Amino acid sequence: MAKLFTRTRIIGYFFALMGALILFQMVRIQTNVNAQKMSESIEERYGTIVRTIYPERGNIYDRWGHLLAGNKDVYEIGIALNEVENPDTLATVLSSVLELNYGEVYEKANLEYIEGEQSYVVVADFVSAEKVNELSAQYEQFENDRTKAKNSDSVQSMRGLHFVGHLQRTYPENSLASNILGFYNYRDREASTGYYGVEEKYNELLAGNPVKITMPKDPTLMEEVPNVPPGSSLVLTIDREIQAMTERIIDEAVKNNGAESGTAIIMDPTNGEILAMAVTPRMNPNEYWDYGNVFTDNTPFNRALSETYEPGSVFKVITMAAALDSGTVTPQTQFVDTGSIYVGGYYIYNWDRGAWGPQDMTGCMQHSLNVCLSWIATEMGPTRFYNYLQAFGIGRRTNLDLAGEQIWPLSLPGDKDWYEVNLATNSFGQGVATTPIQMVMAISAVANNQGIMYAPHLLQAYIQDGKQYNTPPVAVGAPIGAETAKTLTDMLAVSLESESSVALVPGYRLAGKTGTGEIPSAGGYETDLTNTSFVGWGPVDDPKFLVYVWLEKPTSDRWGSTVAAPVFSDIVKELVVLLNLPPDDTRHQLTAQ
């Protein structure tokens, strides 16, 4: 019995030792440098490589399903060297159809076939289906001639030619909404990604999940590529027709006013949906390699969210909203404008250096009196005033779902760059910098008659695995009450009507405010260049749109009332038609019925 037990133990030790040796050998082989070289040698000899198969990139649509970004079939043109019969014919046909250099194609077609090392060469890529069909027809013609000929050696041959299909990103509307879309550098097939706009912001969602496979280096030996689910498609909030209209009008305004740039944003203030965002300059994302020629001298890709500027008097909407909401003033509050006010050791003057005498708060807004708004801010006091500015999101990102949003921090009392005079200058939009999209979000709380700020957004829904997931509106704050919003909207409507503003559109009651912002320079402020803006919304009793216009450094005139206000009117005249909004009287009659 003892001998049997001893023999069993010896056998057990033997198998345990063998197992340990096998495990050791496996580890040694996998970590040994020579083994790795052998593996690489085998891979090289048998011509396999690990490739990443990328899914079809998701499409991008406008709110009505118009395709803004998609994919088209293109082809890689290659030559299998072991199949080539007539290099001259290949070079002749390819150079003719694809406009390639004959000598370079001939040199590639005439390369020596070396198994596992030199078996396939790429001649061209991103070739259209039309060109491939033309090549295929010639190929077939030569093959038919071969069949008919008695001596096949005398017949031209395109054997060795192969087409490998893949996808190319395409933008069927060319430059339309390009500042929103961004672009995809499709020519870099191994490291392509989205740049700017929606293409960058939602790159991972659009790209889907890549799959790695082992495949032959020679694509002619490839048997089957696994089916990879496509990336998610996006449905944007923008309306293609409204976007095109806005781009056309802003382009004309830039040209007619000799402006450096133009920006126009249209948003539904009741939910934050961006209906259009037109910015200059724009580019054709199908030719993204021209980016450096279009956006020169550090020009931002999308000024609406990437360039801060001192907005000027459009900012008075925020100041007056804060003053009304805090109870500092009422619409009937009287102020005697003497033409100047002394704050923090400096005199503040009106835009025309004039004194406007007794005014109520509507008059202060109608005549855009810097002195009056400065007085309002001092009456509020710095703590209350800046608390409201922060509640409106000034100095903070809106988190608009586009890549590249920039901000300028809001200077607050106690900061080393804040001075008492800032309380006055900030009240009328000087010494404070914002982006157009920040202003749109802030003023939407007034425009929607609710006092609620909705996050501006461009994604309405995304489609994944055949299912659509909608994006709900997001309220990001309520800086003022609904009564304040309605009161100020009425004041601004009266203001436009009283001065017969060029911003008005017959048949529709609108509210709005002009803005003329001075441009800071090394020595203070520019004397002859300004930023002109206008913000307006309507219809005032049932708001459907908010429009923000900014023309940078116009040379035709320096005032927002003469430069930006007419652009607002031009946009709204066409916008109400595209939105199918009847005039107020007609709408009220329909509602009454």
Burial of 140 (0-12, 13-18, 19+ CB in 10 A): exposed
Q: Are residue 263 and residue 398 in the same domain, yes or no?
A: yes
Q: Residue 103: which CATH number?
A: 3.30.70
Asked if residue 571 is part of any domain, the answer here is yes
Distance CA 479, CA 445 (A): 7
**Mean pLDDT value across the chain:** 90
Q: Domain range holding 444?
A: 240-592
- Note the pLDDT of residue 219: 55
Distance CA 577, CA 510 (A): 15
Provide the pairing of β-strand 233-236 with 60-61: parallel
Lowest mean pLDDT among 52-56, 192-196, 229-233, 322-326: 52-56
Q: Are residue 368 and residue 455 in the same domain, yes or no?
A: yes
| Structural domain ending residue among the three candidates 114, 137, 172 | 172
Pairwise pLDDT comparison (112 vs 253), residue with the higher score = 253
| Structural domain ending residue among the three candidates 123, 152, 172 | 172
Q: Are residue 244 and residue 164 in the same domain, yes or no?
A: no
Q: Are residue 148 and residue 276 in the same domain, yes or no?
A: no
Q: Residue 308: which CATH number?
A: 3.40.710.10
Maximum CA extent, the chain: 122
Q: Give the contacts of 582 (CB within 8 A, at least 6 positions apart).
A: 590
Asked if residue 300 is part of any domain, the answer here is yes
Q: Are residue 122 and residue 244 in the same domain, yes or no?
A: no
Distance CA 341, CA 332 (A): 21
Burial of 461 (0-12, 13-18, 19+ CB in 10 A): middle
Rounded to 10 degrees, what is the CA torsion of 90, 93, 96, 100? -20
Span 351-404, pLDDT tens digits: 999 999 999 999 999 999 999 999 999 999 999 999 999 999 999 999 999 999
- Note the pLDDT of residue 317: 98
Decide if 552 contacts 312 (C-beta within 8 A).
no
Asked if residue 146 is part of any domain, the answer here is yes
Only one residue has tokens 């206000």, namely 565
- Note the pLDDT of residue 584: 93
Banded model confidence at residue 547, pLDDT cuts 50, 70, 90: very high
Q: Other C-beta atoms within 10 Å of 462: how many?
A: 19
Span 132-150, pLDDT tens digits: 999 999 999 888 888 887 6
Distance CA 341, CA 337 (A): 9
Span 481-536, pLDDT tens digits: 999 999 999 999 999 999 889 999 999 999 999 999 999 887 788 778 999 999 99
Span 11-31, pLDDT tens digits: 666 666 666 666 666 656 555
Span 390-447, pLDDT tens digits: 999 999 999 999 999 999 999 999 999 999 999 999 999 999 999 999 999 999 999 9
Quote the pTM value: 0.86
Q: State the total domains in the chain.
A: 2
Q: What is the mean pLDDT of residues 81-103?
A: 91
Q: 482-498 vs 436-447: helix axis angle to the nearest 10? A: 100
Query: Comparing C-alpha atoms, which of 531, 542, 522 is closest to residue 583?
Result: 542
Decide if 232 contacts 248 (C-beta within 8 A).
no
For 231, list phi and psi in degrees, rounded to 5: -70, 170
- Note the pLDDT of residue 7: 62
- Note the pLDDT of residue 276: 98
Q: Are residue 252 and residue 168 in the same domain, yes or no?
A: no
Decide if 219 contacts 68 (C-beta within 8 A).
no
Decide if pLDDT at 328 tops 80.
yes
Asked if residue 40 is part of any domain, the answer here is no
- Strands (E) across 171-324 are located at 183-184, 194-195, 211-216, 233-236, 261-268, 273-279
The tokens describing 504, both together, are 């008005």
How large a percentage of the chain has pLDDT more than 90?
74
Asked if residue 232 is part of any domain, the answer here is no
The tokens describing 349, both together, are 């003057």
Q: Are residue 257 and residue 166 in the same domain, yes or no?
A: no
Q: Are residue 406 and residue 536 in the same domain, yes or no?
A: yes
Asked if residue 28 is part of any domain, the answer here is no
How large a percentage of the chain has pLDDT more than 70?
88
Q: Are residue 256 and residue 370 in the same domain, yes or no?
A: yes
Q: Are residue 354 and residue 482 in the same domain, yes or no?
A: yes
| Structural domain ending residue among the three candidates 130, 149, 172 | 172
Q: Are residue 269 and residue 349 in the same domain, yes or no?
A: yes
Asked if residue 194 is part of any domain, the answer here is no
Distance CA 189, CA 231 (A): 16
